[in-house]
Structure 1
Amino acid sequence: MNSFATRLRQERRALGLTQQKFAALGGVEANAQAMYESAVRIPRSAYLVALSQHGVDVLYLISGRRTPLELDMLSGAEREVITRFRSLAPTQKHAISVLASALSEGVLEQ
């Protein structure tokens, strides 16, 4: 059976994060993350909200259904960029956004 705990572990691994780093995204300690992934504890809603702010698909975690996205329209390179972007810290995400804006607006030479 594909449980919340199993899906949580799958999502963390898909992002290439350790339990410690993923736990930090959710605002919890690594031991709490381990308990969530082994179905010993159920996380609070604040944890799920924090994960969603880092691009984790919380609908999938809870229900097993993916949030509808137009990912099928993306190339492999575009999907890779999105996956890597989602694993970044907020300050790193901001830096990437600023760089992408500057490149698309022609501020920086392409």
Structure 2
Amino acid sequence: MGIGDRLKEERERLGFSQTEFSAVAGASKNSQYNYEKGDRSPDANYLAAIAEKGVDILYVVTGERKPQAADSINADASELLKLFEHVGDADRQVLLRMASAFASVAVLGAGKDGN
């Protein structure tokens, strides 16, 4: 399966016709047809535009789906990860030990309640 096939698959997954999709991407319907047929390759501007509509660009280009775990992380965990990226290595180790200790207490506490 090539880029054109995957592009068509993503378009259909999102429920767009070729005409609607080409308009979203700022391309002509003829260009959309040629992309899906594999006669032409989309440029970065096109890919950026369709990414905003939910197209998995990694999948279209490489055939590999993006990891789903990032999509399922809650807002608090996401914020914690962003902050963690700005902490030095030594402090990261402290934070990891602290988080491990909190998690252990939570697990032990849940066991005492019978939960």
TM category, shorter? 0.5 to 0.7
CA distance in 2, matches of 1:62, 1:37: 12
How many matched pairs? Answer: 72
After TM superposition, what 4+ stretches of structure 1 lie above 3 angstroms from structure 2? 70-73
CA distance in 2, matches of 1:71, 1:45: 23
Match of 1:9 in 2: 8
Hey, which of these two has a bigger chunk of helix by percent?
2
CA distance in 2, matches of 1:63, 1:30: 24
User: How far has the Cα of 1:32 moved from its partner?
Assistant: 0.6
Match of 1:28 in 2: 27
CA distance in 2, matches of 1:22, 1:72: 24
User: How far has the Cα of 1:33 moved from its partner?
Assistant: 0.2
Match of 2:46 in 1: 47
Render the CA deviation track for 1:41-86: whole Å, top value 9, x for unaligned. Answer: 111110001111111110000000111113997xxxxxxxxxxxxx
The TM-score with structure 1 as length reference comes to 0.60
Instruction: Point out where structure 1 has 5 or more consecutive residues left out of the alignment.
Output: 74-110
Question: Quick one: which amino acid aligns to residue 61 of structure 2?
Answer: I
1:93-104 matches, cutoff 5 A: none
Secondary structure, in 3 states, of the residue corresponding to 1:37? helix
User: How far has the Cα of 1:34 moved from its partner?
Assistant: 0.3
Q: Say what the alpha-carbon RMSD is for the aligned residues.
A: 1.8
Secondary structure, in 3 states, of the residue corresponding to 1:22? helix
Match of 2:59 in 1: 60
CA distance in 2, matches of 1:7, 1:29: 19
Match of 2:84 in 1: none
CA distance in 2, matches of 1:30, 1:65: 26
